[in-house]
A and B are shown apart, each in its own frame.
Chain A
Amino acid sequence: MSRAGVSSFCAEANNLGINVTSFDPIYSLSPEKITERSEPDLEAVYRAIGSVPTYRWGYYKNPDYMRKLRKRASAIFLSDYETHPERYVAGELPRLPFADREFDLTLVSYFLFAYQDRLDYEFHRESILQIMRVTCDEARIYPTVTFEAQPSEYVPMLQSDRALNGFQFTEIKTDFEFLVNSNSYLRLTRAQLVL
């Protein structure tokens, strides 16, 4: 239930020496406008999530602790957004304003598959074509389930889609599960040509 958005991944990773660029339509907005939108979103999720059976609370303990982590992440993001605006590029999938193979690794969290009831199949296919255009090594999409904790039917459809037959799809298991069944990501690489 998130995306590049107000995450602190970009700020923290750059501090570690990883060259991260974040991409999201909200980066056309001022820090104040972003705060105006993100605070009500967090409160709404905080109120609703404790009664939803599709979550495992191991890592986050409870909604209060989850809210604390999210607030800390947003604060780190906002500070970095003001001091390093060049790390944050505004735009919307499926269009990516980047050069071919500009990135070694592309990450997509809680956007594709998770929102499949709002985003149709063609949107997923076009997004993956663009993601792989700007990626020279691999892309990872997390999770591979919907918010109802069901495996997305788009995963097998994409794997057998002729427009995507230049790519290899591998589902990689992880040991992290908050949304039930979210313990895997989809790894995309260029298929090896056998000559």
Chain B
Amino acid sequence: MSGDSIQTKRGLQLDRVVLLGRTFEEYRRYFLLEPDDLIGKRVLDVAGGRQFLLCRSQQPRH
């Protein structure tokens, strides 16, 4: 799978999860984070996976 498989239809068409770097400032805006309130807090930044997607996409959809 190469990046060339990304096409445009109604929206950005992605055949897999792509790796793009995002900044703290973007997260702050996505999630309305208040950095001062988070100092000392334990935060998990979680995602799923491309490998998983490739396995699943080979299975029949139902």
Interfacial residues, chain A to chain B (CB-CB below 8 A): 1-10, 12-13, 16-26, 34, 37-38, 40-45, 47-49, 51-52, 54-55, 59, 69-77, 92-94, 96, 98, 102-109, 111-112, 115, 118-120, 123, 127, 131, 134-135, 140, 142-143, 146-149, 172, 174-176, 179, 185
Contacts and interface: CB of A to CB of B under 8 A. Distances in A.
B24 A111 contact: no
Nearest to B32: A174
26 contacts: A3-B47, A5-B47, A9-B24, A9-B27, A9-B45, A13-B35, A19-B43, A22-B44, A23-B45, A24-B47, A44-B2, A45-B20, A49-B12, A59-B29, A92-B52, A103-B43, A104-B41, A105-B41, A105-B43, A107-B43, A107-B46, A111-B17, A118-B53, A148-B10, A149-B10, A185-B32
B29 A174 contact: yes
A5 B21 contact: yes
A132 to B, nearest CB: 11
B20 A41 contact: yes
B19 A37 contact: yes
A115 B17 contact: yes
- The residue among A9, A59, A111 with the most chain B CB atoms within 10 A of its own CB is A9
Contacts, number: 237
Q: What's the interface size class on B, roughly?
A: 35 or more
B45 A4 contact: yes
Interface in B1-51: 2-4, 6-8, 10-24, 26-27, 29-32, 35, 38-51
Given A18-B43, A48-B7, A8 B52 contact: no
Given A2-B19, A105-B38, A174-B29, A26 B12 contact: no
